[in-house]
Structure 1
Amino acid sequence: MRHMSDLGSRLRAAREAAGMSLAAMAAKTHWSKAQLGHLETGARAVKREHVITYSRALNVSAESLYGQPQDPLRVAHEWLVADGPARVHRSAGRRVGQSFATELEQRVNDLRRLDDTVGGGDLIPLVRRELAETSAVVKCADYSEAVGRRLLVAVGELSQLVGWVASDAGYFLEARHVYLDGVSAARDAGDRTLAGQLLSTLSYQMANVGNPADAALLAKSAVKGAHDAPPIAKALLLERVAWASARSRDAESALRAMDAVDDAYESRSAGIGEPEWVYWLNRDEIDVMAGRCFIEIGQPDRAAPLLSHAIDAYDSEHAREVALYRTWLAESLARAGELDAARDVIEKARSTSAGINSARLTRRVEDIEQLVG
C-alpha cells in the first residue's frame, strides 16, 4: 500500500495545480479546511473515498492522484496484441522442450495476476486466445513425457483462469465447459490438487448461480479427490465447501468447514510447497469468506467486523475486490437492521466499481441497492 504522506502530497499538488484554495476545496466537499489539511500533510490516513472526492472536485482521474504507473486495461491490450510463447512456437517448429514449458508457466502466472486488476469483460478475449493456442501446442507438438506433464498443467491452470474470468464476465456455460476440460488436462498430468481446484471453482459458480446443494456435494468431492493437497491449497478448497454449504443454508456444515479452513491455513509452513495459484489467499481473504458465510446463515453481526478489517487492508489497485467486499459489508449491515450505514457503504461500492467491466460486480451492486432501498 502506498505511503499516506506521498498520497496526501499528490492531493495537495493536484489541488494547487488546479488553482483551488483549501477554502474553495472545503466548499466543494463536506470536509473542513483543517480536515483537508490533515489529509494533504499525511496527518490523517487518505482513503479511497477521499481520492474520489478530490478527483471529482478537481475534474482529474483518480488514477492520476494515486500515481499509478500503468493502466491495467492498457496492460491487457498490450498482452492481447503481443505474441505469447504458444503462438511463437506454432510458427517456429514442432519440438518443444523445458525452456518453452518454463516460459509458458511464467506467462500463465502473469496472466493470473492481471486478473487482479482487470475486469472479466476486458480480460476474456486474451485468456481465451491463450488457452486455445496452448491447447493447440499440446495436441500438435512433439515433447518428452516430463515436458508433456508441464504443458498439461499449464492447460489446466489456464482453464481455471479462463473459467474464472468467463464467470466474472457472466458467461457461465462457457466457464462450466472450460473448467471440466481443465479437469481432464489436470488428471492427465497427474495433478490431483489442480483437478480439485478446477472442480471446487466450478462449485463456487454453481453455488452462486445454480443449485447450492449440488455445489456443496461437488466441493466436498473436490476436497476428497485432492486429499494430498498442501495446507493453503486445502484451505482454498475447504472455503468452497463452506460457501456452498452456507448458500444451501446448511449452517452446521458451513461452520464446520470454516473451522477446517482455519486449521488447514494455520498448518502452512515455509517448508511445504504450494501451487502458485494460491498466492492470493491470506488471512484477510479467509475472513472475507467467513463474513460472507455468516451473512448466508443468518449471523450478519459476526460478518461486519471481518469484512471491514479486510477492506481496509486493500489498496486502490484491487478496486473490484474492494467494491465486491463492500457489497457484502452493506448486506451484513442491512440484514442487521443498520440501513443508513448500509446505504453509505453500497454508495461507496458503486463509486469504487466505476469503470470496472465485471458483470459479477455490477449484479452484486444492483442487488444490494435493491435490498437497502
Structure 2
Amino acid sequence: MASSTVTSSQPDRPPRPNLAFRRLRGPRSPAEFAALVRRAAREIGERVSCDARYIGRVEAGEIRCPNYAYERVFLHMFPGRTLTDLGFAPRSSVRGRAARPAVAAPRGPSAGERPGERPGESLGAVEPYDLWDRRQNDPPNHEESDVLRRAFMTGGGATVAAATLTPLGLAPSAAAADRPPRRAGIPEAMALEEAVRRIRLLDDRHGADGLYRRAAAPLRAAYALLDAGATRQTTADRLHSGAGELAISVGWLAHDSGRFDDARSHYAEALATARMTGDAGLEAHAFCNTAFLARDAGRPREAVRAAQAAQRAARPLGSARLLSLLALREAGGWAGLADRTGCERALVRAQALFERGRADADPEWMSFYGEAELAGLEAQCWSTLGDWRRASRQARRAAQAQDPHFTRNIALYTAELADDLAREGRPDEAAEAGLRVLALLDQVQSSRIQGMLAGTARVLLPHRRASGVAEFLDRHASYKGPRPVGGGRSV
C-alpha cells in the first residue's frame, strides 16, 4: 500500500458554503438535482458529467466558480440570474485573471466547436485543472490535444500522474516519469475524482469489456499520487479515498468482464486503503462489491459474510439506501446457499430500507441504485432459487423501470428476463427479449451479459420451432462480439 507524506504547509482556506445554491436544490436529493442538471445540459447541447458529489462540492463551497460548460447549464436552468445570484464567486477572483465577457444565451456548438468551447476561448491561457474540466465535456473517443498533454506534463511527478487519470489512458513519456515527484495538491485530487466519475459513466453506457485494460493506467497513476505525497492532510485524505474508489471501479470492470481474480485483488486493495485511513464509506463499498463478486464466483457463504461486514461499516453513515443495497447483497448470498428463508428476510429488509427514500448521506457511487436495480437484484435471487415465475416478473419490472442512461443495465435486466422466461417454459417471449439484448450489444460490451445470452440460447435449442426462437438462435450464433470470459450464468 502506498504511503502519503503530509507536510505542515499553510492550512487550507476553509470553503464558504454556497447557501444560495443549496436553496435552489430545494427538497430534491443531490442525486436527483444532478439528474436535472444533466437533462438541462442535453437541452442546450452541452455534456456535463454531473453527479451527487459534484452538487455536494458546489454546496460546500469547494467549487467557487463552475467551468464554462456548467455556467451555461446553470444559467439555462435559472434564467435571469447571474453566477453571483447562484452563490458563486466572480470568475476573476477565482482564476486570477480578468473575467471574460458575459456568457450569451446558451446554444449548441456550431461547426468546428467542441462542446464546452466557444470562439475566442484560448486553451493556452487555461490552467491544468480547467483543462481537465474541459476534457469531461468531450465525447468519449476524443483524442487528447497536444496543448492538454503539455499542460499536464510540465508540472512534475504528481501532475504527470494526474494527466494519466483519463479513461483513455493518457500516458506520460518515460522522461517525464523519471522526474523527481512533486507533492499532489487539490488539482490532482480533483483529477482523480473525475477519473472515477468518468469511468463509471462509460461503464453505465458501454459495459466493462472495452474499458478494463484502459483503466489500468489511471489506477497506476492514482497510486503514484499517493507515493508522491500530498501538501495537506485534507488533500491526502481525498487522494486515499479517490484511489480506493478508483480501485473499486477498476475491480468492477474486471468483475463484469469475468476476470474474477483481478477483481478480488482490486477490491482487497480498496479495503486495505479504507482500513488504513478509517474511511467507513469506502470500507462499506469495498465489502459490498466483494460480496457481489463472491456470489458470482460461487462462494455464497463468503458473500453473506462480506455483505454483513459491509452493513456493520455502513450503519453509522446514515444512508438507508446503502443499507438496502447491502441487504440485497446478503440476500444473494443466502440464495446461493439455497436458504430461502434467509433470502426472503433479507429481501424484506432491503425493501423496507429502500422505502425510506433518498438522503444527503447516500454515497455518490450509488446513483445507479433505484427501483430498477432493486427489482433486478431481487430477480437474480429468485432465479438462483429456481423460482422462474417470480424471477421473470421482477426482471421485466427492472428492464421497464431503468433510466435510459444506463444502457448496460437495460441490457443486463433484459438478458435476465430472457433467461428466466426460457427456463419458465415461455420460449417465444424469451426469444423476443433475447433479440432486444442482441440489438444493444453494439453499444454494450459485457462478458456477463454475453454469458447469460449463451445460457439462454442453450435452453432454447430444443424449442427452435417456437415463434421467434429460430431467429434469436441464428442471430446469436452469428454475433461476432467479444467472446465471454468464463461464460454461463452469473448467478
TM exceeding 0.5: yes
- Would you say 1:246 and 2:335 are equivalent positions? yes
The structure 2 residue matched to 1:284, chosen from 372, 376, 388, is: 372
- Structure 1 Cα separation of the partners of residues 392 and 402 of structure 2: 16
Give the aligned partner of residue 129 of structure 1.
Answer: 217
The number of equivalent residue pairs is 304
What's the CA shift for 1:334? 2.6
The structure 2 residue matched to 1:142, chosen from 230, 236, 242, is: 230
Contact map agreement 1:203 1:215 (CA 8 A) in 2: yes
- Would you say 1:264 and 2:353 are equivalent positions? yes
What's the CA shift for 1:156? 0.8
The verdict on how the C-alpha distance between 1:314 and 1:266 changes in structure 2, with shifts beyond 3 A counting, is closer
- Structure 2 Cα separation of the partners of residues 326 and 363 of structure 1: 13
The structure 2 residue matched to 1:160, chosen from 243, 248, 254, is: 248
The verdict on how the C-alpha distance between 1:79 and 1:201 changes in structure 2, with shifts beyond 3 A counting, is farther
Give the aligned partner of residue 324 of structure 2.
Answer: 235
The structure 2 residue matched to 1:274, chosen from 362, 366, 377, is: 362
Contact map agreement 1:247 1:296 (CA 8 A) in 2: yes
Q: Percent identity?
A: 26
Higher-helix-fraction structure: 1
- Structure 1 Cα separation of the partners of residues 233 and 193 of structure 2: 17
Give the aligned partner of residue 275 of structure 2.
Answer: 187
The structure 2 residue matched to 1:218, chosen from 294, 306, 316, is: 306
Give 1:156's aligned amino acid: G
The verdict on how the C-alpha distance between 1:287 and 1:347 changes in structure 2, with shifts beyond 3 A counting, is same
Provide Cα deviations, 1:101-146, integer angstroms capped at 9, x if missing partner: 2342233222221211123221112321111101111012233222
- Structure 2 Cα separation of the partners of residues 319 and 150 of structure 1: 30
What pairs up with 1:11-26 in 2 under 5 angstroms? none
- Would you say 1:108 and 2:173 are equivalent positions? no
Contact map agreement 2:327 2:350 (CA 8 A) in 1: yes
What's the CA shift for 1:99? 4.2
Provide Cα deviations, 1:188-241, integer angstroms capped at 9, x if missing partner: 222112212112212211211232222222222222233323222222222211
The structure 2 residue matched to 1:75, chosen from 140, 150, 157, is: 140
What's the CA shift for 1:86? 5.8
* Structure 2 unmatched runs, 5+: 1-34, 36-114, 116-137, 153-158, 164-176, 462-491
TM-score by length of 1: 0.73
Give the aligned partner of residue 453 of structure 2.
Answer: 365
The verdict on how the C-alpha distance between 1:261 and 1:157 changes in structure 2, with shifts beyond 3 A counting, is same
The verdict on how the C-alpha distance between 1:353 and 1:363 changes in structure 2, with shifts beyond 3 A counting, is same
- Would you say 1:208 and 2:273 are equivalent positions? no
- Structure 2 Cα separation of the partners of residues 135 and 76 of structure 1: 25
What's the CA shift for 1:355? 5.6
Provide the aligned C-alpha RMSD in A: 3.0
The structure 2 residue matched to 1:356, chosen from 444, 451, 457, is: 444
What's the CA shift for 1:265? 1.8
Contact map agreement 1:86 1:134 (CA 8 A) in 2: no
Give the aligned partner of residue 87 of structure 1.
Answer: 161
What's the CA shift for 1:158? 0.3
- Structure 1 Cα separation of the partners of residues 455 and 243 of structure 2: 35
Give 1:122's aligned amino acid: G
Give the aligned partner of residue 74 of structure 2.
Answer: none
Moved more, 227-236 or 165-174: 227-236
What's the CA shift for 1:153? 0.5
Contact map agreement 2:322 2:363 (CA 8 A) in 1: yes
Q: Is the partner of 2:347 in helix, strand or coil?
A: helix
* Structure 1 unmatched runs, 5+: 2-68
Give 2:350's aligned amino acid: V
The verdict on how the C-alpha distance between 1:284 and 1:171 changes in structure 2, with shifts beyond 3 A counting, is same
Contact map agreement 1:76 1:123 (CA 8 A) in 2: no
- Structure 2 Cα separation of the partners of residues 92 and 75 of structure 1: 32
Contact map agreement 2:192 2:243 (CA 8 A) in 1: no
The verdict on how the C-alpha distance between 1:305 and 1:143 changes in structure 2, with shifts beyond 3 A counting, is same
- Would you say 1:340 and 2:428 are equivalent positions? yes
Give 1:237's aligned amino acid: L
- Would you say 1:301 and 2:389 are equivalent positions? yes
Give 2:268's aligned amino acid: L
Contact map agreement 2:183 2:228 (CA 8 A) in 1: no
Contact map agreement 2:274 2:280 (CA 8 A) in 1: yes
The verdict on how the C-alpha distance between 1:165 and 1:157 changes in structure 2, with shifts beyond 3 A counting, is same
TM-score by length of 2: 0.56
Contact map agreement 1:162 1:178 (CA 8 A) in 2: yes
Contact map agreement 2:395 2:417 (CA 8 A) in 1: yes
The verdict on how the C-alpha distance between 1:372 and 1:106 changes in structure 2, with shifts beyond 3 A counting, is same
Give 1:232's aligned amino acid: R
Give 2:334's aligned amino acid: S
Q: Is the partner of 1:115 in helix, strand or coil?
A: helix
What's the CA shift for 1:351? 2.9
The verdict on how the C-alpha distance between 1:162 and 1:88 changes in structure 2, with shifts beyond 3 A counting, is closer
What's the CA shift for 1:80? 12
Contact map agreement 1:86 1:137 (CA 8 A) in 2: no
- Structure 2 Cα separation of the partners of residues 267 and 355 of structure 1: 34
Contact map agreement 1:291 1:306 (CA 8 A) in 2: yes
- Structure 2 Cα separation of the partners of residues 278 and 247 of structure 1: 24
What pairs up with 1:308-319 in 2 under 5 angstroms? 308-314=396-402, 318-319=406-407
The structure 2 residue matched to 1:330, chosen from 414, 418, 426, is: 418
Provide Cα deviations, 1:17-54, integer angstroms capped at 9, x if missing partner: xxxxxxxxxxxxxxxxxxxxxxxxxxxxxxxxxxxxxx
Q: Is the partner of 1:356 in helix, strand or coil?
A: coil
